Amino acid sequence: MSKVVCPPDNWNVDEFILSLSSVSQNTVSAYRSDLTDFVAWCERGLADAPGTVDRLILRRYLAYLGTRNFAKRTIARKASALRRYFSWARRTTLIATDPSVSLRAPSGEGHLPRVLDGIELQTLLEPTEFDENEPQWRRSRDDALLEILYGSGLRVGELCGLDIDSADLKRSSVTVWGKGAKERRVPMSLAAVETLQMWLKIRHEVVGEASGAALFLNSRGKRLGTRDVRRVLDHRAINPTHPHALRHTYA
């Protein structure tokens, strides 16, 4: 018999389930399962409490469900469970604002946030062809930042804001300052740790007076900007790719 995993107490899922009325027992069971799965997904580094969930996280979750071949009707039910849960959380002052307002399950492929397929992802993270004139430092930097974007699900602004001491290689984690100046620790994949180690060994080649403590630098030795990240993706991607696509692909 498989072990039932219960959401952490601070999500108050049990209290929400007890609040349900005028619904069938099947619906109650489905909502409990839906919320348990959602919380487990969030706890992988995206959110550690209902108050840290935003609309983008909810959209990413629905996109993630789409990549797992869930039926549209099932995704719609899961979206309904999330709306009902966050509405309840707002009414009971568990959260200050409801991120699920107007949240709808995507009605078709075109409304889903773009998710990279296996070939696109491999081309970005493990390119087989390189520009002979491309310096090694740039290749190492791009490898590291792409692995972190994908493996840790960071926003581009969060990535660009990282300092050297933001990364804890021994613990395979990175400390991020997100929206609202909220600090959170996000796990890094083994590939992200390894490529970041390589970049740090070669970072000195582009350090300039304006570098400061920035983890990622551009060719002028300044902190990497969001436009620089877009150029990295344009250079490596086989199809037009927005940085958000790596966040949506992360799961």
Domain-located, residue 2: no
| Per-residue confidence band for 113, with pLDDT thresholds at 50, 70 and 90 | low
Please tell me the predicted confidence (pLDDT) of residue 238. Answer: 62
Which CATH number do you get for residue 166?
1.10.443.10
The per-residue pLDDT for range 58-98, each reduced to its tens digit, is 988 888 887 777 888 888 889 999 999 999 999 999 999 99
**pLDDT of 162 over the 80 cut:** yes
- Look at residue 243 in the predicted model and tell me its pLDDT: 62
Determine which helix (DSSP H) or strand (DSSP E) holds 237, and give its type and residue range.
Answer: none
Domain boundary residue, one of 86, 111, 136: 111
Asked if the structure places residue 4 within a domain, the reply is no
Please provide residue 22's backbone torsions phi and psi, each rounded to the nearest 5 degrees: 60, 30
Classify residue 49 by burial, with Cβ atoms within 10 Å: 0-12, 13-18, 19+: middle
Q: Dump pLDDT digits (tens) for 209-226.
A: 767 899 999 988 999 998
* 230 and 132 in a common domain: yes
Residue that is last in its domain, among 50, 83, 111: 111
Spatial separation of the C-alpha atoms in residues 251 and 233, rounded to whole Å: 20
Chain segment 1-39, per-residue pLDDT in tens: 334 457 778 899 999 999 987 778 888 899 999 999 999
Which of the listed residues 111, 130, 165 is the one where a domain comes to its end? Answer: 111
Instruction: Report pLDDT for 203.
Output: 93
Q: Of the candidates 222, 171, 172, 177, which has an alpha carbon nearest to the alpha carbon of residue 193?
A: 172
Which residue type occupies 231? R
To 10 degrees, the CA torsion angle through 170, 51, 38, 8?
Answer: 70
Please provide residue 108's backbone torsions phi and psi, each rounded to the nearest 5 degrees.
Answer: -170, 170
126 and 70 within one domain: no
Report whether pLDDT(240) > 70.
no
With a cut of 60, say whether residue 179 has pLDDT above it. yes
Tally of domains in the chain: 2
How much is the pTM?
A: 0.52
Domain that holds residue 144: 118-249
